[in-house]
Structure 1
Amino acid sequence: MEIDEDSLCEDSGNETSGDDVDFNVEVESTAKDPQPYDDEYQYEVLSTSDIVQYMSDIIDEVNNVVQLPPTTTRILLNYFNWDKEKLMERFFDGDQDELFKEANVINPFKSLPHATRPKFSLKIKGTEECDICFMVCAPAHMTGLECGHRFCYQCWNEYLTTKVVEEGVGQTIACPALNCPILVDDETVMRLVKDSRVKIKYQHLITNSFIECNRLLRWCPSPDCNYAVKVSYVDAKPVTCICTHVFCFSCGENWHDPVKCSLLKKWIKKCDDDSETSNWISANTKECPKCGATIEKDGGCNHMVCKNQNCKADFCWVCLGSWEPHGSSWYNCNKYDEDEAKAARDAQERSRAALQRYLFYCNRYMNHMQSLKFEHKLYSSVKDKMEEMQQHNMSWIEVQFLKKAVDILCKCRQTLMYTYVFAYYLKKNNQSVIFEDNQKDLERATELLSEYLERDITQENLVDIKQKVQDKYRYCDGRRKALLDHVHEGYEKDWWVCKEA
């Protein structure tokens, strides 16, 4: 059964094409040479065809030893997260029957006893009954797996299509029979599914599962990019995709030097939880003086009762002191009582200070993120400026300094953005002071470079602007590297102490 070429052209997902279900297909490699960010970390960018070939190579390598059907080998490899060493160790050193049972496949070295086959799979007067639609069909219109459960072709097609398209299941499609865990192999899926688009979707799911299971592979997170990156070992290092997107292989986020993946994950979660409401909280709420729970005043009465079930504190919204004396002759909320409200005010101030500190770093982080988006738009305007310079008797090579300036500007913006995440979790010490000085110097130079690049170019200021831009982007690049070198040295020498925030 062939796949319609037109349907392949229309599909733009991360999938393979064709009916070569054992993935032993000859494909033309489009893998690009490794593009290391530095000489230490080698990686390779793979197209979807390269990924299929890589899967085929692993399956062939294992099959040369275990001698299993390719689709069975693929299911077993997926069970072991594509760790071929673990699979072969278990295959030869363990109980093979138990292995196949755990992986939900029939042991190909043993035939299923006839007595265990379902009764409805036996021929009754030359016909069989499908246990899904209960139609009585000729045996030629029925098929099934090695488990012995047989259904009509129409029911198989509808079942597999539903699993693939609606449920998005590829690796773990089980036999339709009740309580049968045996997995449907690739060959059966490709043979029984009629729609070529469903076949492509199925192969996409298999390929995607392969990438997600294999710790040495990661899809490029850039939207609409169909490439993956393959490394020899996992590390928090930058990798550059064919689409030019640079990301951290360890966590998949945009490259975030100098902050580590664990802190960035905490920061992103905190921003998602806090940034949209923090300003409103700061202006409209107070914290319970006893347990610190955030409370909103929704009525005119100043008598507050904390709704925390473990607290239930009664206090005054105005002075944050205990409510008990407010209804008696001891009422003195109109007077400033340092002794009674000091603890409540201190707790309130600590909470407010923590919020203000978060807002300080968050606003600067978001500001650089927004500026970075605008700087990326500079590429189009820089192209126009480069053309204008060429009209002023400058060669194509001579005007390339503008593009390099924008490249460095974007790198500086991105580095500065993540320095505020690093600084938020950093405890103060002598080295942190040096870090902040480096940060300040880079930020000041970056803003000046951005200003230069946004000026109008005229015949009169052409030479002056070129010299200033070149001097400034070289300075910015040097200060960026100096800042990062200092942070990396601090990691190596344990200068940095991070705090919970």
Structure 2
Amino acid sequence: MASESEDDFMLEDSRDYSDMDESGFASSMSDNEDYADEEDDVAFDGVFADKQRKKAYEVEYSVQNSISLQKMQDQEVSQVATILGLPTKDSTMLLRYFRWNKERLFERYMDNPEKVLQLAGVAENAKQGSSALILAKNIPGKGKFMCEICCDDDPEMETVAIACGHRFCRTCYAHYLTQKIREEGESRRVECPQDKCNVIVDEVTVEILVDDKTFSKYRELLNRTFVDDSDHLRWCPAPDCEYAIECNIPSTSLTSVVPTVQCTCGLVFCFGCGLADHQKWMKKCEDDSETANWISAHTKECPRCHSTIEKNGGCNHMTCRKCRHEFCWVCMGPWSEHGTSWYTCNRFDERSSSEARDSQTQSRASLERYLHYYNRFANHEQSAKLDQDLYQKTESKMEEMQQTSDLSWIEVQFLKKAVDVTVQSRTTLKWTYAFAFYMTKTNETELFEDHQRDLEMATEQLSELLEKPLERERIAELRQAVLDKSVYVKLRREILLEDTAKGLLEGRWNFFVDLK
């Protein structure tokens, strides 16, 4: 498949190729996505204006807070209560016992309702809707009462009993519930204090007896168990984040779909494993830490005069200050080849690896192959970090551009947008090398590497444009070049992601490791 030319795209296509993803292969799509920033940017009007269909590499998901999680639970409880004809509190206990699996609950309940109620901790008189009782000591027909926990028989003390009938003083009952919730972290199965009684203390009773802070903790624990029990919910792994993600991707599809989601807090992670990074690759990088430390060094020698050069920007187009030799920081080859059909910087020569015969040679070839991919992975990671530093430089450049031209502050925002595109693209490129490392060489791999190469070349060209010094008389020319290249980089990134995602769905990619 021949690569599309940049010029053809600029003439023929003005659709919206923007998305919210900053991860490797799978972007995300939420019902609440906000594209206002791009719509407000005059510089990008007409280029990223239209909304379009969900792409192959996007997954449907939504971010849930504590209130929405409570509503989800209430809806489930209401449905079960209506079908089974049970009180709300008892339907809640049943659902929690069956870990919110309604199908399993209905199946088991229809077979033996009495046994299911008993196992779930619902009292035998559940259908009468018994609720918590808070009464004074003098109970008609019951004689003198003494709390079995504190042995107090004060005639003025309040007592508590739930549907099972086991009665204790209110102080002891409240202390018992508080200890269970705050010290033991229990919520789903807080049983009656009576020995060998498995009746569950309902939520209404807990709310009546404990203080607000303890009840808030109780509700938080219940939400946590609800999310943990659901196959379609997962907590955001960011520290102290209280949001959960809902994504209806079955576990059986994780070898063909990469469900990348983004939390409201900003963290992008895989819904399947909950990790922000690709686990197999990161584990390998940790195992080869000494090699990684060596390969990620920031200084290299000029291939012509051997002067030591330090990389201080994201662009990989290097020019030696001593001999003016232009070369690629990644492969150390002449830069003149990095814009032509001879570009092979992203490819590893599998022939030398396959020709290795003895075990020592094979080990060396295996290491060289790993270094090829890790070097490029680490380089894009480092370049993305260096490009992040461009934000401060870009803001100064935007102010200078506004002062030395007739462009408004909104119109010079294209520079910041271009930096966003560059960092996003480098993040994608970084993970393409982790992906490619595990791929078996096939004809399909050649197509993947073509897309990878096109995106890489376009990204380097955009990065180089952003690092050029500002010339007053060429501001209009620079603005148009940056806009055109930003749009083209977005297109190349979408083509790469779209084809990769479809390849996973269609089983076109072959790997030498088990992805499960």
The bucket for the TM-score relative to the shorter chain is: 0.5 to 0.7
Query: Cα deviations across residues 374-416 of structure 1 (Å, max 9, x unaligned)?
Result: 4445445544443443333212442232233123223211211
Contact 1:408 1:477 in 2 (8 A): yes
Give the drift of 1:426. Answer: 0.7
Query: Cα deviations across residues 254-277 of structure 1 (Å, max 9, x unaligned)?
Result: 5x8xxxxxxx343344445x1446
* Counterpart code for 2:430: M
Q: What pairs up with 1:186-205 in 2 under 5 angstroms?
A: 186-194=203-211, 196-205=212-221
Q: Indicate yes or no: 2:114 matched with 1:101.
A: no
Distance 1:52 1:493, change over 3 A: closer
Note the aligned Cα RMSD (angstroms).
3.8
Q: What pairs up with 1:23-38 in 2 under 5 angstroms?
A: 33=32, 38=53
User: What TM-score do the two structures reach when normalised by structure 1?
Assistant: 0.66
Q: Indicate yes or no: 2:64 matched with 1:52.
A: no
Distance 1:356 1:70, change over 3 A: farther
Distance 1:189 1:454, change over 3 A: farther
Contact 2:90 2:126 in 1 (8 A): no
Contact 2:292 2:374 in 1 (8 A): no
Q: What pairs up with 1:158-307 in 2 under 5 angstroms?
A: 158-194=175-211, 196-231=212-247, 234=250, 236-243=258-265, 245-254=267-276, 264-272=278-286, 274-276=287-289
Distance 1:54 1:253, change over 3 A: same
Task: Give the Cα–Cα distance (whole angstroms) in 2 for the partners of residues 480 and 198 of structure 1.
Answer: 49
Task: Give the Cα–Cα distance (whole angstroms) in 2 for the partners of residues 107 and 32 of structure 1.
Answer: 44
Q: Indicate yes or no: 2:509 matched with 1:491.
A: no
Q: Indicate yes or no: 2:121 matched with 1:90.
A: no
* Counterpart code for 2:228: E
Which residue of structure 2 aligns with residue 293 of structure 1? none
Give the drift of 1:419. Answer: 0.8
* Counterpart code for 2:78: D
Structure 1 residue runs without a partner (length 5+): 1-30, 113-121, 257-263, 283-344
Give the drift of 1:496. Answer: 1.8
Which residue of structure 1 aligns with residue 449 of structure 2? 436
* Counterpart code for 1:267: W
Give the drift of 1:362. Answer: 3.6
Which residue of structure 2 aligns with residue 466 of structure 1? 479
Contact 1:238 1:248 in 2 (8 A): yes
Which residue of structure 1 aligns with residue 22 of structure 2? none
Give the drift of 1:217. Answer: 2.9
Task: Give the Cα–Cα distance (whole angstroms) in 2 for the partners of residues 104 and 279 of structure 1.
Answer: 55
Give the drift of 1:425. Answer: 0.9
Task: Give the Cα–Cα distance (whole angstroms) in 2 for the partners of residues 165 and 387 of structure 1.
Answer: 54
Give the drift of 1:440. Answer: 3.1
Distance 1:403 1:280, change over 3 A: closer
Which residue of structure 1 aligns with residue 172 of structure 2? 155
Query: Cα deviations across residues 302-348 of structure 1 (Å, max 9, x unaligned)?
Result: xxxxxxxxxxxxxxxxxxxxxxxxxxxxxxxxxxxxxxxxxxx9444
Contact 2:249 2:259 in 1 (8 A): no
Give the drift of 1:370. Answer: 4.1
Task: Give the Cα–Cα distance (whole angstroms) in 2 for the partners of residues 228 and 37 of structure 1.
Answer: 27
SS in 2 for 1:128: coil
Give the drift of 1:453. Answer: 2.5
Which residue of structure 1 aligns with residue 433 of structure 2? 420
Contact 2:157 2:169 in 1 (8 A): no
Distance 1:415 1:177, change over 3 A: same
Which residue of structure 2 aligns with residue 399 of structure 1? 412
Query: Cα deviations across residues 240-263 of structure 1 (Å, max 9, x unaligned)?
Result: 444455444444445x8xxxxxxx
SS in 2 for 1:129: coil
Contact 2:77 2:88 in 1 (8 A): yes
SS in 1 for 2:83: helix
* Counterpart code for 2:459: T
Which residue of structure 1 aligns with residue 401 of structure 2? 389
How many residue pairs end up in the alignment?
388
Which residue of structure 1 aligns with residue 381 of structure 2? 369
Which residue of structure 2 aligns with residue 312 of structure 1? none
Distance 1:376 1:72, change over 3 A: farther
SS in 1 for 2:472: coil
Give the drift of 1:498. Answer: 0.4
Which residue of structure 1 aligns with residue 489 of structure 2? 476
Task: Give the Cα–Cα distance (whole angstroms) in 2 for the partners of residues 428 and 46 of structure 1.
Answer: 42
Contact 2:285 2:292 in 1 (8 A): no
* Counterpart code for 2:483: Q
Identity of aligned residues (%): 38
User: Relative contact order: is structure 1 or structure 2 higher (C-alpha 8 Å, sep ≥ 6)?
Assistant: 2
Q: What pairs up with 1:61-76 in 2 under 5 angstroms?
A: 61-76=79-94
Query: Cα deviations across residues 109-158 of structure 1 (Å, max 9, x unaligned)?
Result: 4789xxxxxxxxx9996231333x45555584442443444444333333
SS in 1 for 2:511: coil
Query: Cα deviations across residues 151-199 of structure 1 (Å, max 9, x unaligned)?
Result: 44333333333332333322233334444433332122222212x2222
Task: Give the Cα–Cα distance (whole angstroms) in 1 for the partners of residues 458 and 288 of structure 2.
Answer: 28
Q: Which moved more, 1:52-61 or 1:411-420?
A: 52-61
Contact 2:237 2:274 in 1 (8 A): yes
User: What TM-score do the two structures reach when normalised by structure 2?
Assistant: 0.64
